[in-house]
Amino acid sequence: MRFLGQLFFILISIGVFFGCKKENANQTFIEENIEFASAQIGLQLDAIRKTNKVLNPRTINEDGTTRYVNPQCWTSGFFPGTMWYMYELTGEQKWIDYGTELTESLESVQYLKWHHDVGFMIGCSYGNAYRLNKNEKYANVIVQAAKSLSTRFRPGAGVIQSWNTTNGWMSQRGWECPVIIDNMMNLELLFNATRLSGDSTFYDIAVQHANTTLTNQFREDFSSWHVVDYDTITGDVRQKNTAQGYSDDSAWARGQAWGLYGYTVCYRETKDPRYLKVAEEIANFIFSSPSLPDDLVPFWDYNAPNVPSELRDASAAAITASALYELSGFSENRELYLVKAKEIMESLASSVYRAKLGENNFFLLKHSVGSIPHGAEIDVPLNYADYYFLEALKRFRELEQ
């Protein structure tokens, strides 16, 4: 018995040793990436400060210069959000200073009604700002932005219309009421607006949109179409397309990430088990895909024809990692999702995808893809890849703590 007791003590000690070793390795990984992000984005901030302008970086132009965006751009909320995450990760005042300045430069977006992405734009900027400082002025902006987004709700179809169809390539498609899977990311703004205002209208719209999307946007294997077009009167589906993917029947990688993240948020806000199930099924599709590389950074489309010579999309990987950290808190597959998220983060933090200090126009990640079919932002850094990488890093640290 004494021997068995000693053996049990030894086994417990070994377990504690390796547990501590793993924990220390995770802490080192987190701290190293925070240190790098602080230095790299700090250089970007220094470059902006020298111009005496409020500049909002998105990506790199073909001539090598940094592309900055105006408040109307759908990506305008990500760099302000990056400032708030950098403050959370470092505690340094300089991130608050520019985060506040840049966030408040988007004040007019609360009235934007001509596209659906105010959720990205206001949620990532004002949403994070309010979460950290509880400024009531910011709460008012969030609620007004939700009112603007709600004007795009089409009751007959039960969806928020994504794009207008009066000009450009969208009108050429013959769409009447296109809804893209990305729109799932804008529902969090509506949930937050109900919480802040007490008006359940926003919540109800978000739930109707999520339910309609769940019914119509997914195939049997839980890959998704990028675009579903509706008749606004009858609610009938007019056509299904994948505008930014390889083909209408393919699975665009970032679209899968948007769906995973969006339904995880919907489960958090409603506790509807259908939303948890669809998030888990999307994750299963991603990790069972035969085209998913060993490093878990997907090719830009899971059905792209020239794998393994196709381009990767680091932005899809970063969004997926961040979603998995949250999903792990709700699912019986917790350990699997934590392992997969860590593997993705380790890949993104490697020299393959993470830039060297001072390079990549001071963006963190390389090798993202905007839209290959439109010849836009191909194999470049993107501000939303950096944003979700930092969000995932923050969530990883919170789990470790």
- For the ranges 41-45, 173-177, 182-186, 257-261, the lowest mean pLDDT is seen at 173-177
CB atoms near residue 207 (< 10 Å): 20
Confidence of residue 315 (pLDDT cuts 50, 70, 90): very high
Confidence of residue 173 (pLDDT cuts 50, 70, 90): confident
- CA–CA distances in Å: residue 126 to residues 78, 108, 184, 318: 11, 12, 19, 21
* Catalytic one of 46, 63, 117, 301: 117
* Catalytic one of 46, 97, 182, 301: 182
Structure-model confidence comparison of residues 157 and 2, the more confident one: 157
pLDDT exceeds cutoff 90 at 139: yes
Amino acid at 259: G
pLDDT exceeds cutoff 80 at 166: no
Residue indicated by tokens 């987004």: 149
What pTM was computed for the model?
Answer: 0.94
67: annotated binding-site residue?
Answer: no
117: annotated binding-site residue?
Answer: yes
pLDDT exceeds cutoff 80 at 192: yes
Confidence of residue 367 (pLDDT cuts 50, 70, 90): very high
Does residue 182 have an active-site annotation?
Answer: yes
75: annotated binding-site residue?
Answer: no
166: annotated binding-site residue?
Answer: no
242: annotated binding-site residue?
Answer: yes
Longest alpha-carbon distance in the chain: 82
CB atoms near residue 398 (< 10 Å): 10
Confidence of residue 339 (pLDDT cuts 50, 70, 90): very high
pLDDT tens digits for range 238-262: 999 999 999 999 999 999 999 999 9
pLDDT exceeds cutoff 80 at 13: no
Give the pLDDT mean for 156-184. 88
Q: Any idea where the domains of the chain sit in the sequence?
A: 152-241, 253-401
Q: Are 153 and 205 in contact (CB under 8 A)?
A: yes
SS3 401: coil
Give the pLDDT mean for 118-128. 98
Per-residue buried b or exposed e for 304-341, using 16+ beta carbons within 10 Å of the residue's own CB = beeeeebbbbbbbbbbbbbbbbbbbebbebeebbbebb
194: annotated binding-site residue?
Answer: no
pLDDT exceeds cutoff 80 at 348: yes
The CATH code belonging to domain 253-401 is 1.50.10.10
Q: Which strand (E) or helix (H) includes residue 379? A: strand 376-380
pLDDT exceeds cutoff 60 at 5: no
Does residue 117 have an active-site annotation?
Answer: yes
pLDDT of residue 23: 76
Residues contacting residue 82 through CB under 8 Å, at least 6 positions apart: 41, 383, 386, 387, 390
pLDDT of residue 174: 84
Task: Give CA torsion, residues 72, 78, 80, 81, to 10 deg.
Answer: 140
Q: Are 105 and 126 in contact (CB under 8 A)?
A: no
